[in-house]
Amino acid sequence: MMRTADRLRRRVPVRLQTRLGDAFGTWTTDPDLPLRQHAYQSPLRDERLAAWLGATLGILFTTCFVTGLYSHLHQHPQSWLPLPARPAGLFRFTQGLHVACGIASLPVLLAKLWVVWPRFVSFPPGRRIADAIERLGVLALVTGGIFQVFSGIANIAQWYPWHFSFTAAHYWTAWITIGAVIAHVGAKAPITARAVRRRKHRPALADADPVLGTTAEGVHDGLDRRGFLVSVAAASGVLTLVTVGQTLPGLRRLALLAPRDPADRPVNRSARNAGVIAATTSPDYRLRIEGRVSTPLTFTLAQLQALPAHTADLPVACVEGWSYSARWTGVRLTDLVAMAGAPADAEVRVESLEEHSPYRTSFLNRFQAHDRDTLLATHLDGRPLSDDHGYPLRLIAPGRPGVNQTKWVTKVVVL
Amino acid sequence: MTAHRRGPAFWIGAALGWALILFGLRGVLQHSLDTRPSQLARFWIAGALTHDLLLAPLTLALGVTLARAVPGRWRATLQRTLIICAPLALFAYPEVRGYAHILRNPTSLPHNYTANLVLVLAAVAGLSAAVALISARRRPSTVSGRSPTGRGRGGRLRLWSRPRRAGGRARRPR
């Protein structure tokens, strides 16, 4: 073997050997150093920036995950975890927070990727098993994080350049992303703790991280580390300021880039798109109460309007982050099912005239179905419902996502 | 990636994190009718590649160009403005393009987003310039052509210079 190697070495010209050696040195590095690390000594790429941005992103992503999980539980109810109907504005708050944190994370994610970019191109990816595990986790974090922010923003702008279900893809990728966040926190916890410590307790940056930290404490033109962090925070702040008015009425006038205006009383699906106008305006329209009842009932719209009406101030909170409060008038759902002889703690399924939609039915657990403010509404803000708002009858209940406030209701099934 | 010895936090985080990652992957595959795994995987990869091969190099090229073209004293102001404006423009892209209009929902995208984006970007640029002017007035005057710190040379490219340490030479990466 040695002889063969020696023979080969003798045959290859020295100059070529040198060039090959240089190329190898250029394109491969110690796994602890990025590719051609000299080229990446920007003053804005250092350990402390990476730590602060990473911690911020971790908080934003975790908030998105927890609030998203709450939304998922509303849309996919679990019998072992009946969600409470109160407080009535809880879902409005959690989903507004979910979308606001998702939007605010865009500049933070881009800044974080910018600061750690040299890490991505280090080669070989790792020489130890732990390196490979960490690199794979980072790959999951980067792909998952970018996808979640991109797909979330595209969804609130109702832009769907894909053929998969947004909710399913966003939900399952969220598990991947939060898993990668946890793995990354485990890997970076000592570094982050050291980096965010007060100045007198932390080592010199160049000692702490020779790759990212050699120039960060030097003097440079342009933004320093604090200026960069302040600018990223300002970017998140401005983005929040120009969008959050879609759920915070006090900031509505500043919501120049919000995809919806709450003053318009927006809807997610129009009657025309749902294909229900003919059925809702038909004189044959009826509401049926059936299922686990002693007396199945059928009502015409006139009969429903003759029943005792109740009024409730409740929010409509869309999963896309916009919301508004309105005054709803209609018949209490609990009164209707009691008239049909349903048990006092019965769960209920409400069905729409809409035929082809994953949201044509919605489930109400015992708390939601028997809440005093859960109505089958006929009026919005004192006026009869418009077609787009669910004429002739829509469900409105406290603390639920807008997609579960079923419009164009035609059947109530007691379960 | 990091040179330090892996502690228990790394292995606990890896075990828990990878359990959740695998749970997510299993969910993607189990609900394949909804998630369309092959297309979803293309979007995952495309997102990362778009950042690594397009967005990051473009940002780098833009930074180099601006560093050559803009005097040092204005560089921080310009960086600040671009850092705030770029995400705004990215966020507003689907609104400006008006993709939602295909759904014929009259309550979707109710504003003129091109005009609003221009307005917001102009406000950010104006505010950023005002802050720079005010802070320049407050700062003591500097030598012409030099950065306020007195070390940087305005208008010249110094993208990856080494820090000057108290002891003299900068420490090289180990």
Coil, strand or helix at A377: strand
- Give me the pLDDT at residue A213, please: 43
Taking chain A (415 residues) in runs of 10, the rounded mean pLDDT of each run is 60 70 53 49 75 95 98 95 94 98 98 85 73 91 97 97 97 98 93 76 52 47 86 98 96 96 93 92 94 96 95 96 97 96 95 91 96 96 95 96 96 97
- Specify burial of residue B24 (Cβ count, 10 A radius: 0-12, 13-18, 19+): buried
Return the pLDDT at A35. Answer: 43
More confident residue, B151 or A345: A345
**Using the beta-carbon criterion (under 8 Å), do B164 and A178 form an inter-chain contact?**
no
Phi/psi of residue B20, nearest 5 degrees: -70, -40
Q: Judge whether A350 and A406 are in contact, CB under 8 Å.
A: yes
Strand partners, A290: A413
Rounded Cα distance, A337 and A246, in Å = 35
Please determine, for residue B155, whether its predicted confidence score (pLDDT) is greater than 50: no
CB-based contact A153 B94, cutoff 8 Å: yes
Could you give the C-alpha distances from B2 to A34, A111, A205, A381, B114, in angstroms and in order?
11, 21, 15, 60, 45
For residue B174 the two structure tokens come to: 């180990």
Q: Nearest-CA residue of chain A relative to B87? A: A107
Predicted confidence at residue B7, as pLDDT, reads 85
Q: In this prediction, what percent of chain B has a pLDDT beyond 90?
A: 55
> How far, in Å, CA of A171 to CA of B23, rounded?
12
Length of chain A: 415
What residues contact residue A153 under an 8 Å CB cut-off, 6+ apart? Answer: A102, A103, A106, B91, B94
Q: Which residue of B lies nearest to A147 if distances are taken between CA atoms? A: B44
pLDDT at A3: 59
**Residue with more model confidence, B104 or A145:** A145
- Taken in order A222, A226, A232, A237, the sign of the CA dihedral is negative
Per-residue pLDDT at B21: 98
A122-126, B2-6, B73-77, B146-150: the lowest-pLDDT one: B146-150
Rounded Cα gap, residues A82 and A344, in angstroms: 16
Which pLDDT value is given to residue B151?
41
Judge: B91–A228 Cβ closer than 8 Å, yes or no. no
Q: Which of B9, B86, B88 lies nearest to residue A186, judging by beta carbons?
A: B9
Residues in chain B: 174
Q: Shortest Cα distance from A306 to chain B (angstroms)?
A: 32
Give residue-wise pLDDT tens across range A181-195: 999 999 998 888 888
Cα A330 to Cα A230, A307, A325, A327: the distances in Å are 50, 9, 16, 10
Sign of the four-CA dihedral A138, A144, A149, A150: positive
Residue in B with minimal Cα distance to A45: B160
B42 pLDDT above the threshold of 60: yes
For residue range B105-142, list pLDDT tens digits in order.
Answer: 989 999 999 999 999 999 999 999 999 899 888 766 54
| A298: three-class secondary structure by DSSP | strand
Interface test with B, best of A221, A241, A242, A380 (most B CBs within 10 A): A221
Distance, in Å, from the CA atom of A107 to the CA atom of A181, rounded to the nearest integer, reads 18
For residue A362, the cross-strand partners are A350
Q: Would the pTM of this model clear 0.95, i.e. be above it?
A: no
Say yes or no for a CB contact (<8 Å) between B1 and A106. Answer: no
